[in-house]
Amino acid sequence: MTQAIGIPDLLNRHSQPGRIDFKVEVPCPMKNRFQAAIDQFEREHLEATGERYRSFVPNVCGEHVDGAGTIRDIAAATDIDQIPAICIDFASGPFSSPQIVERFVRTGAFEQVIAVSGVPWLADPAAFIDPYGAYNILAVNPEVMLVETRALNGRPAPRSLEDLLDPIWESSICLPDNHKHIGTRFFSAIRQRFGEDGLAALDRNAVTAMNGPTIARSAGHGTPKAAIYLLPWVFARGAARPGKLDLVWPDDGANCNPIVLMVKRERAAKNNALLEFLLSLTVARVFADNQFPATRPGTDNGLPEGATVRWLGWDHVLSGVQAEWDAEFIVRYNRFHHDNSC
């Protein structure tokens, strides 16, 4: 059965090599439902086969737990046996770290079991295909806009990310934020598409930064803090109030962070049943129902008509450049950061 975490000795117990079949990091809003789905699968599998899985499926936000020296510290692994047979994590997480790429990805330790070439809502499908055949994109976390109509003051609502660079939005945009520092993926996307001129426009047009839960609680109440808020779709969809807080899916594609499945080539036979479940429509629906569009064919993701997503791409993420950009953006834009919590 899965084990909720937050207690140091549980974390340490899970850190022993070879003890874990399955490790998960998914977005906070879907943790409880994902854990419930895994629990049910593991109960049914145990009853049918007598085989028990050792899974690490936390239902608390990883930002609040020091994972150094535990099973969460994937990037510190020096032997493939220290990594669980199957993992789910963010594309920008430990599995794209230079040390994991060099030690295990380049050497073929992970297997590609799904393809995304036929997913119709990817603005640039080639960006989602990794050169090593190691990463499996299960779903994406798209970032959209909430527009506070009373703060437009006669300005036309933006329809695209490029619109946000217009001087009419000076001191009007709420940037994406993280718990510990300013969010950096949005700035990376702007630099990649619009260069330094795009970043200069953000310097002028930004007024504050907040994370998704904070925006969902505060936008539309009291004095407007911004005219445009950038936040994950999962929070925007729940907070939107048409005519007051309008949800805008960028016409030029919503920036996203993929959620990836990592599968070791060498794994115990029992893990194939778990893998089959993770690739099922049941799991795809858990992602989709929480506004994380799933790549599995046949999944109803509830996307707006014509909606697409775009991403920095594997070539960028695996190049090591992102770490340099992150450090730069944290310094450059951290004046907008707030001490956020979920």
Residue 133 and residue 23 share a domain? yes
Q: Are 79 and 202 in the same domain?
A: no
240 plus 274 within the same structural domain: no
Cα distance from N-terminal residue to C-terminal residue, the chain: 27
**Position 130 in a domain:** yes
Write the pLDDT tens digit of every residue in 108-155.
999 999 988 889 999 999 999 999 999 999 999 999 999 999 999 999
pLDDT single digits (tens) 203-249: 999 999 999 999 999 999 989 999 999 999 999 999 999 999 999 99
pLDDT confidence of residue 268:
83
152, part of any domain: yes
State whether 224 and 281 are in the same domain.
no
How many domains, in total, are found in the chain? Answer: 2
Does 133 fall in a domain? Answer: yes
Q: Is residue 124 domain-resident?
A: yes
Residues paired with residue 24 on neighbouring β-strands, in sequence order:
88
**Residue 34 falls inside a structural domain:** yes
The DSSP secondary-structure symbol of 69 reads: T
**Which one-letter DSSP state was computed for residue 182?**
B
- The answer to whether position 209 is within a domain reads yes
113 plus 147 within the same structural domain: no
Half-sphere exposure of residue 291, counting CA atoms within 13 Å on the CB side? 18
**Cα–Cα dist 78/101, whole Å:** 12
Give me the amino acid identity at 294: A
- Give a yes or no: residue 71 inside a domain: yes
Residues 92, 130 within the same domain: yes
Q: State the residue range of the domain holding 96.
A: 8-140+257-311
Supply the CATH number for residue 147's domain.
Answer: 3.40.190.10
Q: Are residues 261 and 135 in the same domain?
A: yes
Do 95 and 42 belong to one domain?
yes
Q: How far apart are CA 53 and CA 58, in angstroms?
A: 15
Are 250 and 145 contained in the same domain?
Answer: yes
Q: Where are the alpha helices (DSSP H) in 164-267?
A: 185-205, 212-218, 233-239
Residue 175's H or E segment, with its range, is strand 173-176
Q: How confident is the model at residue 5 (pLDDT cuts 50, 70, 90)?
A: very low
Question: Do 206 and 224 fall within a single domain?
Answer: yes
- Spatial separation of the C-alpha atoms in residues 291 and 142, rounded to whole Å: 8
91 and 177 in a single domain? The answer is no
Q: Kindly state whether residue 321 falls inside one of the protein's structural domains.
A: no
Confidence of residue 15 (pLDDT cuts 50, 70, 90): very low
pTM: 0.91
Residues 75 and 150 placed together within one structural domain of the fold: no
* Residue 310 scores a pLDDT above 50: yes
